[in-house]
A and B are shown apart, each in its own frame.
Chain A
Amino acid sequence: MLTVRALSVHRGGRALLDGVGFTARCGAVTGLIGPNGVGKSTLLRAVAGLPPQDATVRGGSLLFDGRPLPTMARERARLVGFLPQGHAVHWPLTVRRTVELGRLPHLGPLGRLRPEDHTAVERVMAATGIDGLSQRPVTGLSGGERARVMLARVLAGEAPLLLADEPAASLDPGHQLRLMEVLRAEAVERDRAVLVVLHDLSLAARCCDHLVLLKPGGGCAAGPTPAVLDPALLREAYGIPFAVTEAAGVPLVIPTLPPKSDRGVSRHAC
């Protein structure tokens, strides 16, 4: 279980995060939501041990299963897997080799892959459905394929704590759901703690067991998904009204804008 206690991150006298505290349980997917610029990525990077440039962690503590997260980069890398935004790849590496890079924190000084490394790589490639792409150059893949390769790369590290920064961004609905399903399976079947930043609140409602809603001005609301997806709480954080409903047995969170009746615009803006 990841425990974040009163975490504050400052840059140049300005607070990027102020007194944030929550827990992310093993065997569950925890969604991190909140408006743009509220510090979701900063929080994830602070947990991963990569605070943004010039930013300092001013206070608070980060514990995993009751122990502080290690400060040594390599030890931290074995405990925390981090999937950043953007999915950058600078050379046309093969899909297989890209996934193998996720094993780096476990390798000896010569960097040779052992049988257990190959087993882990093959398992996550099958889990993400990219085993058929093994020898393809990763630069030639579609956005959805590349997102799955990068997910496999972070899963290959088999870290007990997984952090993913907007993994579903710019994916089609099918890819989004499948990607969240892989994360959920990883959490449930292998008892990992998964913390994932999401912008799509309906996707968060559907795929996360717990939510952490970061509020502008500091602080957060954390708890089981239905409790956090409260229209009043959402309005406070995002500054617009929300309708929380259900269709075809699936929860839906619908953002709305106040009517602009004076201009004769439709009540359902956009």
Chain B
Amino acid sequence: MLKNIQEWILLFIIVSVMVAVGNWIGYEVMPLEALPGILALVGISLVGLILHRVNPYKGIPSIAYIGILAFIVTIPGVPGAEQIVEWTSKVNLLAIATPILAYAGISIGRSWADFAKLGWKTIIVGMFVLLGTYLGSAVIAEILLRMQGII
């Protein structure tokens, strides 16, 4: 357990450097300015991972702990909420997404041979599968948001 936490922290340090660098080059936020926000996000993620590890019931995915925890600590009125919101607003979402997809790309390379073997029918169906879920959800959301007069 301790060994795991140690490993997570080391990995978070590495990933934080990438986010800070991307945030600096792409979105012109100085790394020092972004540091408190990155630390806050790392802290929340770490606590979420630990909570998932210690709870013997594994039916809840660890990202659910992380998402809910991050949500709770930033609800207006919760002590420190404003501070966390201000800090993390300096960390651009796209600066986090870039290293994720860079790691993903290297990981995906392994599946390329299998991908190349898929027939054209699978590729077509696959695109409609993704479009189906995306548009399906967007249309339902649009209808309800309009009915409620939110948009």
The reply to whether chain A is a binding partner of chain B is no
